[in-house]
Structure formats: C-alpha cells, structure tokens
Amino acid sequence: MTEQAIDSGERPAILARAQQKVLGAPLPRVEGPLKVTGAATYAFEQAPAGTAYAAVVGAPAGAGRVTAIDDAAALALPGVVAVIHDDPRIPAGEGNSRAMPAQGTDRIFHHGQPVAVVVAETQAAAREGASLVRVHADPAPGRFDMETQPVRRDHKLGFLPAIEIGDVDAAIAAAPVVFDEHYATPVHFPAALEPHASTVWFDGEVLTVRSSNQVIGGARETIAKAMGLPAERVRVLAPYVGGGFGGKTGVGPEVILAAIAAERLGRPVKVALPRRDTAYLVHHRSATVQQVRIGCDHDGVITAFEHTGTAAQNDDGGFLEPIPFGSLPLYGGANRRFRTDLVRLDLPATGAVRAPGEAIGTFAVECAMDELAERLGIDPIELRRRNEPDRDPTNGKPFSTRRLTDCYDEGARRFGWPDRVPAPGSVRDGEWLVGIGMAAALRGNFTVEASASVRLGADGRATVACDMTDIGTGTYTILAQTVAEVLGLDPAQVDVRLGDTDLPRSAGSGGSFGAGSAASAAVLACEDIVVELARRMNASPDELVLADGRASADGRDATLVELLRGEAIEAMGKSSPGAQAKKTSQASHGAHFAEVAVNAVTGEVRVRRMLGVFDVGRVLNRATAANQIVGGMVWGVSYALGEAAVVDTRSGRFVNPDFGEYHVAVNADVPQIECHFIEEIDDAANQAGAKGVGELGISGAGAAVVNAIYNATGIRVRDVPVTLDTLL
C-alpha cells in the first residue's frame, strides 16, 4: 500500500484525462434501494442483546446550581434499572474535538442542561422515569434576553476576527450616498428528520457507538476524551444518517450519558432524543442583530462597506456565529469593516447550523443591496455588477474560480428578470400582489484533510473506503462515480464503505467540505492504481486509457482482470489543502430569483416559483448536488416566512421547541424550484476540482424571497420571519 499527498492545485492528469462518462452524471443514489426497502438501518434500529434504553433528565432552571437529585420515585417505577447522576463525566452540553463542555458540574448553564440519565428496560419506562426524577436547584437570575444584555466587542470567541481595512467612517462621511440599516434574525433549530440517536455497547474493551453523526473521526476523539478512554478504545459507526444541518457535527450529551450507562450496567444502551429535547441538548443558530452600512457614489460604486452584528453564546460554549463571513469577498469597496460582537446568554449553546455566517449574514447584506439599488434607481443586478471585485477585496487574493456574474446573467435570462416591474406594488393578480426579487449566494470553500483507500480487486471490482458520512447528501454515490470515472469502471462495479472510524479518516460531513475533500482523496488513491496498471502494461500512465473494465495503451489492450493476475491492488490517497488553496480566495457562488404573491386582504405570502444558478466548481453528480441546493432554497423560504424559535425571556425556555409550533416549510409551502449549474472545474480548490455545495443553497435564498415581497408590496421587512401582520 502506498501513500502520497499531492498539493491541491496539482490537478492529477488522471482525472482530467478520464473519459468523463460517469462523474457529474445524475446517477440515482447507489444506496437508495437499501433505504427505501428498510435494509439500511439507522442508529436507533440496532438491537444488541440485552439493550436498555436511556432518557436524559434536564435542569429545571435556566441558571444557578443543582443542589440535590431525588431519584426515589424514578427507581420505584417498574422497568427502571438505574438513575445515574453521580458520574463526574456527565457533560453539561455538546462537545466537539476542539471544545469540551464542562463535565460533572453542578452549575446550570441553561434550562434543560443534562444532569442525570435514567436507564430502563423500555423507552417508555426510561422517559417516564426521567419525568419522575426530582431535580432541586438553587436558581439564579438568568440572562435570557439578547436585547437587554451588554454587547461585548472585546472577545476571543469564534474563528473570524474583526476586520478593519482603510477608514470606513471617513469614507462614509465623504460618500455622496450613505446606506445604514439594521436587520434581525431569530434562533433557528437544525431540525433533522432522523432524531439524534445512538446505540452504545462495549465490544470487549472497545466502546462502540452507532450514532447519527456527521463527523465521526472528531466524534471518536470527543467521546474518548469525555469518557477518559484512549481513542483506540472507541469506535464510531454511522453508515446512514438522516440529516444533520450542523446539529450532528459534535457529540451530543446523550451519547456520553448512554456510554456512561453502558459502562456501569455492562449492557448495550440506546437513546433517542424526543423532538422537544433537541431544542435543549443540541446547539441552535444564534439570533442575530445586524447592521449594514454602505457608502457609495451616485452610480452605486461602493467606497465603504461595513457588515457587523451581534450573536449569542452561553458561558460554556466556544462558538460564535461568524455573521459577516460571506460578505468578506462579495462586493468591492476600499474601506471595509466586519465584526461579530458577543452577548452572553444563559441559553443552550449556539453552534454551526447550515452555512454558519452566510445563511443569515446574506439575508442582511442581500436585502441591503436591494434597498440601495432602489434608492439609487439602479437595477439590483446592475448594482451588484458594478461592485463585482476582480480579486478578493478583503484579503487581496485572486479568486480561484468565480462565475457570480454569469450566475446573475443566466438566472436573469431563465427567470425572466427583464420583465420585472421595478416600482413596488404594481402587479396585481386578483387580490394578490405579485413581485419578484433576487439575491446573490456565496459560501466560502474549504478543503480539509481527508484519506481514502481504494482497492481494485482481482475480479475487477473496486472498493473505496473512508470514514465519511452520507447524511442524505450523496456521498456513497459520488465516491462510486469518482472511482468509476478514474478506473474506467461502471459505478455498479464500485463498492463504497463509509461511516466507520476503523476506515481511513476523512473529512466528515460539515462546512460543505465533505464531497470535495473525500472525492479528492479517492482520486489520489486511484492515481496510484493507474500508475501500477500502466507499469504492468509497460506504458506510461499518461498514455493509458481505462474504459469498460479494460486498459489500453499504444495499440495494446488487456482486461483489468488480466492485469491484476489474481491479486488486488490497493492504494491510499490523502488530500490536504495545499499551496494553491492558500494562495487563492475560494467560494461557491450563485444567484437566487423568487416570485411571490402577497394576499392584499390577509397578508398571506405564497412563494410561486424560485430559480437559482450556481457556480460550485466541478459538479460531481448533478442530481445529488441539485438536491442539496434545492434543500437549501427550501430552508430560505422556511426562514423567510416561518422559522423562529421563541425564547421565554423570563425562564430561558423555548416557547416552541417542536414541529407543532416551530414552523418549517412543508410541501404546500414550497413552489417549483429550479437549480442550474455553471460548471467550471476549480483546479485550485482540490484534486476533484469541486467546491462546496451543501450550504450554498440557503445562502441568499431568504433575501430573494424578502426582496420579492418588497417588490410585490412596497413594504420592507428587515427582520425575519415575515409575518402577516407586518404586511397589512
């Protein structure tokens, strides 16, 4: 087995020369039949012999200390096996490999913080038992209201430091046109369809965790750290995951509680969070207040661009929503300011929820650009075009690939943008006011370290293996396509093994980096195999052609099976962000268009159609890529019109921690959505030439809807969701 790392940017000739028959094609999900027949089992569907069920007991106050836990009534319930509240490893919240929550503490950081776990013979007994545990607390006054708590500018939280370039205040003072508005977004839940669930057991010495998790390599480290075990004694399995949206990037406290219980009882334990518990035990996206200040001339050319905001975190959390992250490379302007301020609240932790930063940052900035265009009397697309930078205006680096203006053009043409009536409130259809709006989409591109092994078996079938997850995104399918493309196979001849920390460590599903990073590792592994096949053909790798299970070079031809001579060839590929990745500014881009109808009598908003055009580098699979983009656009509709978790500012509890009252868009809310790609292979991004997809679709999507509402009604709404009362 060989291992090699090739700098990103040295595009392997191997993929460039491949037949391009398979990669990019809208191949149906290779694991689809297993999913629709129920053969693909999920974390809670495991039933090792003797499995017990766990339920989490939460703190009954939003701040203060736990003083006593009375478990007598719970222990008296038939079926209850144990109530554990004395283990010093009980975590106060969710952990990830970079930051662990407090463990074994009596301090209450937020309402519902885990303080005990009830283990029982049935799930019903565990949950009823949890309701019978009496937790006594010495409550303290909590900080639950973002509007009344002090804003801290001087803090070290988050990965995005404050940025100041030039003199924004002077440039704004000197600008002929000044724009200055505030925007607000509420708490959003990452509401995955598959519950947060795990089945945990000891396999000899090895703590085995079958979990619904996005990034199992990191989860393994976190679980080991939390449990006080060496990492070799933890194995995490997640072959199928029913959505994550960021909420499954870390390790939920219920996983550690189940592990503690499995260790103490010597039996497998499984746990699934009821929907209401996910509000307290899973992180959420912080509410934000944002300010956009722009100075420009009468032609709309920007001289000063400022995007700042405030986000919340509790005293135990280490994350901060990078509000202006997507704005950094978006528009020109020599004077620039970007900052996220911090408010400490005693609420559950805030964390990465699909497109952290961009999902809500682009709402403010893309609505601001729409408003500014109207004030200037310039078409919104034209205003954006006039401020399209030719290199990253914040870090000065050249763009790797950037087809944003092409997205505008293609989207405008396909959507019928030239027919838009700029004067708001001008188009009526019976009692409905009709309008259209657009917004840019941008999501920073990351490539992270990833390994994958590829084995070309003696029978000519290939297996690619790594610890990536497929959270509904299409990882199984794109890895089969990648290997098939390079080795000249049918994708049906490629087996894909994922979701097991015993396999080579990959990127995991997060930050939109999974597909590009994992596919790059697979390409590099395949490259070694191609070199070996070429050697056996006495040919140079450059002249070798692999197609239909055969190799040919210079007039000679052999089947792969012949070349393999009864033995498999195996190789390991390791991809990492290389020199070119650091020299360029990388992002995926897009343009959203939306048409809405607003009922003039009731204020009801219906989104009639949406269309987006996206630049994501190489498209690995047009169906699964579009599927992710459309899902993001649905979330844009959802947060523009419905989603908002309401905090009871007296208690620190959520008023609506379930799908009954936290309104996510359902089929009836979602119009026909079209997704198109402008494909340009991004050689600097990674060996696969693919930029991130998963989080691009939500970026800007809400702004397009809200801008369309303005065009329909003449009413500017600067805080989402847009409710009926604001339009009447």
Structure tokens at 252: 């939920």
Helix boundaries (H) for 393-513: 404-415, 475-487
| Closest among 190, 197, 193, 317 to 258, alpha carbons compared | 197
DSSP state of 31: T
Under 8 Å between Cβ of 377 and 299: no
CB 625 within 8 A of CB 693: yes
State which residue, 551 or 634, has the beta carbon closest to ligand MOS.
634
Residue 514 CB, shortest distance to ligand MOS, in Å, is 9
CB 290 within 8 A of CB 183: yes
- Give the nearer residue to ligand MOS in terms of CB position, either 607 or 629: 629
CA 344/CA 532 separation, integer angstroms: 58
Residue carrying structure tokens 């959203």? 592
Specify the residue, 353 or 376, whose C-beta has the smaller distance to ligand MOS.
Answer: 353
Residues 6 or more apart in contact with residue 699 via CB below 8 angstroms: 326, 355, 358, 359, 362, 441, 442, 443, 590, 632
Nearer to ligand MOS, 250 or 333 (CB): 250
Least gap, CB of 359 to ligand MOS (angstroms): 9
Amino acid code (one letter) for 39? A
Whether cis (ω within 30° of 0) applies to the bond prior to 78 is no
Compute the least distance from the CB of residue 185 to ligand MOS, in Å: 15
Note the helical H segments in 116-267.
Answer: 123-132, 168-174, 216-227, 253-265
Task: Name which of 511 and 636 has its Cβ closer to ligand MOS.
Answer: 511
Instruction: Give the active site residue among 128, 221, 263, 695.
Output: 695
Both tokens of 545, joined, read: 């052609």
Least Å distance, CB 510 to ligand MOS, is 3
For binding to ligand MOS (CB under 6 A), which residues are involved? 214, 244, 246, 249, 352-354, 356, 510-511
> The tokens of 466 are what?
């790594």
The answer to whether 316 and 250 are in contact (CB under 8 A) is: no
Residue (249 or 585) nearer to ligand MOS, CB: 249
Smallest distance from ligand MOS to CB 353, Å: 5
- Sign (positive or negative) of CA dihedral 144, 147, 150, 156: positive
Helix (H, G, I), strand (E, B) or coil at 182: strand
The yes-or-no answer on residue 485 being catalytic is no
| Strand, coil or helix: 614 | strand
709: helix, coil or strand?
helix
If the CB atoms of residues 314 and 512 are measured against ligand MOS, the closer one turns out to be 512
Write out the catalytic residue numbers: 695
